[in-house]
Amino acid sequence: MRQKSFVSLLGVAALCTVLTGCIGIGPATVARDRFDYTTAVADSWKRQMLLNIIKIRYGDAPIFLDVASIINQYQLTTDLNASFGWQYPFGVGIGPANSQKLGIDGNFVDRPTVTYTPLTGESFARKMMTPIAPVTVMSLVEAGYPIDVVFRILVQSVNGIQNSYGGAARARKADPEFYTLLELLRQNQASGAVALRVKKTEDEGGALVMIFRKRVDKEVEKRAREVRRLIGLKEDIREFKVVYGAEPANDEEIALLTRSIIEILTDISATAEVPAAHVAEQRVLPTMELEGEGIKGAMVRILYSREKPRDDFAAVPYRDCWFWIDDRDYKSKKLFSFLMFIMTLTETGGKEGAPIVTINAGG
């Protein structure tokens, strides 16, 4: 019986040795960590964006932290100890005739290292306060985003026709022609009557050109002529240069006065709902009055409640309330995600080097 127990002990020891030598934890963590960190970063990004919109609404300073790097270290150590003693003949001497001992020690360490980069100084000015380039605006249109939504959010004026704005310092309603222009441009976009291309020029290297296509039906041609009339373009040409500015230099240019990210967030924040008590106490300005639905209304509907919402797309606590976007409000969710996408397109200069992180890669 004792010999059989000893043989079993040796078998267990050999099996443990094989298992500890063959199992690796690295590959098994890739799928889990990749998706878990992606979800965590995405959720925190949404909450940071929403919080900064609300802070702007209350006159507070927005603060952005970018996740520069995520490094995760795993360490697994095992220690297997086995000893035995055997005496013959059995029962001779003092103490137990034979003995067996088996010991296994293990240690698992998970060391995630997340590096954050605050958006300040020149980087803040470049990313948040520089107007979005007209080529970026028109590239979004060419990529299939509705031109009326893109212009409503990103453009302040088209050839002097003014968009609405919710900033307290220069709040204003849109010129009546602006919404008419957006509707006509949206219809032309849907019909494929408008195209974009970069035209090579000797002095500028390349200029963005909007083209009204030939061979369109009478209804589309009628809308194209109305667009030209509204923004003062020539009737007898089909190609117009798109430039940045408040007013065109001539009747062959389309001047887009685009907004910066901080202006976009300020405009969106003006329609966020706030408690009436906060308005009465002059903690915040009243919610901007809306001119209608669709592009005339709130682009992103931000609600508030005293309790934490249960069905939110994004929610943040601020002061004594919760501000949130309803997960059942598809339009607001889509436009809110569009805002976050726009932020990734506004880097106009070289990226600063991320902080150097030194980690222990040894055993």
Query: 306-361 pLDDT, tens per residue?
Result: 999 999 999 999 999 999 999 999 999 999 999 999 988 776 444 555 555 554 54
* Residue 208: partners with Cβ closer than 8 Å, 6 or more residues away: 134, 135, 138, 196, 197, 198, 199, 241, 242
> What's the chain's average pLDDT?
80
Asked if the model's pLDDT at residue 194 lies above 60, the reply is: yes
- Cα separation, 343 vs 145, whole angstroms: 16
Q: Which has more confidence, 277 or 224?
A: 277
Asked if the model's pLDDT at residue 176 lies above 80, the reply is: yes
Per-residue pLDDT band at 86 (split at 50, 70, 90): low
* Assigned token pair, 124: 């803040």
Q: Which amino acid is at 54?
A: I
**Is residue 324 within 8 Å of residue 336, measured between CB atoms?**
no
The pair phi, psi for residue 58, each rounded to 5°, is -95, 10
pLDDT, residue 56, reads 94
Of 314, 335, 336, 316, nearest to 326 by C-alpha is 314
- Cα separation, 339 vs 200, whole angstroms: 31
- Cα separation, 194 vs 212, whole angstroms: 5
Q: At what angle do helices 147-154 and 176-191 cross, to 10 degrees?
A: 140
* Assigned token pair, 68: 């520069």
- Cα separation, 286 vs 271, whole angstroms: 9
Largest CA distance in the chain: 118
pLDDT, residue 203, reads 54
pLDDT, residue 361, reads 47
Q: How many CB atoms lie within 10 A of CB 277?
A: 10
pLDDT, residue 16, reads 52
**Is residue 270 within 8 Å of residue 288, measured between CB atoms?**
yes
Q: Which of 45-54, 185-194, 212-221 has the highest mean pLDDT?
A: 45-54
pLDDT mean over 53-66: 91
Environment class of residue 362 by beta-carbon count within 10 Å: exposed (0-12), middle (13-18) or buried (19+)? exposed
- What percent of the chain has pLDDT above 90? 38
Q: Domain coordinates of the chain in residue numbers?
A: 2-118, 134-259
pLDDT, residue 97, reads 58
- The string of pLDDT tens digits covering residues 120-172 is 777 777 888 889 989 889 888 888 899 999 999 999 999 999 999 987 778 88
Q: Which of 91-95, 222-226, 298-302 has the highest mean pLDDT?
A: 298-302
Say what the pTM is.
0.78
**Is residue 166 within 8 Å of residue 271, measured between CB atoms?**
yes
Per-residue pLDDT band at 208 (split at 50, 70, 90): confident
pLDDT, residue 91, reads 55
pLDDT, residue 96, reads 56
- What percent of the chain has pLDDT above 70? 75
- The string of pLDDT tens digits covering residues 242-273 is 899 999 999 989 999 999 999 999 999 999 99
pLDDT, residue 158, reads 94
- Cα separation, 332 vs 340, whole angstroms: 13
Q: Which has more confidence, 193 or 302?
A: 302
